[in-house]
């Protein structure tokens, strides 16, 4: 038997595999599936580089409305865990109209209570912090 004198070797190998699977599954390396405390992209975007509809939504947020959609201003729960962790009620979401879309589309601006703003064009799969 190859493990004679080292009866712990198979157990150590199994433990190493389990630990590796756990580390990879919790986002310790890029592309991992774990939750994060920052947007999936470390990039930020200048407000002036956003689509015209997003800039219009930013202006509405700054003025306090009126907003075109009933869901504008509702609490964004950050269920995806991609934005920094805060208590419920900290974030609010606003629709960025998508030309040609029959519904609200996938684009949103998320505002935080401290004034930070995030843009997503893929319905919360990724975010960019908006530099204003």
Quick: pLDDT tens for 28-45. 333 444 444 455 555 899
| Phi (first) and psi of residue 23, to 5 degrees | -60, -45
pTM: 0.69
Q: Which CA distances in Å does 69 have to 97, 105, 130?
A: 9, 12, 22
End-to-end CA distance of the chain: 67
- Dump pLDDT digits (tens) for 75-113: 999 999 999 999 999 999 999 999 999 999 999 999 999
What is the pLDDT at residue 7?
A: 72
What amino acid positions are annotated as catalytic residues? 93, 123
- Dump pLDDT digits (tens) for 50-72: 999 999 999 999 999 999 999 99
40: left (phi over 0), alpha (psi -120 to 50) or beta: alpha
């Amino acid at each position: 038997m190859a493990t004679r004198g080292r009866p712990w070797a198979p157990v150590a190998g199994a433990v190493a595999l389990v630990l590796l699977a756990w580390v990879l599954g919790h986002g310790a390396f890029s592309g991992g599936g774990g939750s994060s405390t920052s947007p999936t992209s470390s990039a930020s975007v200048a407000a002036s580089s956003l689509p015209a509809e997003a800039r219009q939504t930013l202006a509405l947020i700054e003025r306090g409305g009126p907003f075109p959609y009933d869901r504008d201003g509702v609490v964004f729960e950050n269920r995806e865990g991609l934005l920094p962790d805060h208590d419920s009620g900290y974030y609010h979401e606003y629709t960025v109209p998508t030309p040609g879309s029959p519904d609200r589309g996938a684009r949103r601006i998320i505002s935080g209570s401290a004034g930070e703003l995030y843009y997503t064009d893929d319905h919360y799969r990724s975010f960019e912090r908006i530099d204003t």
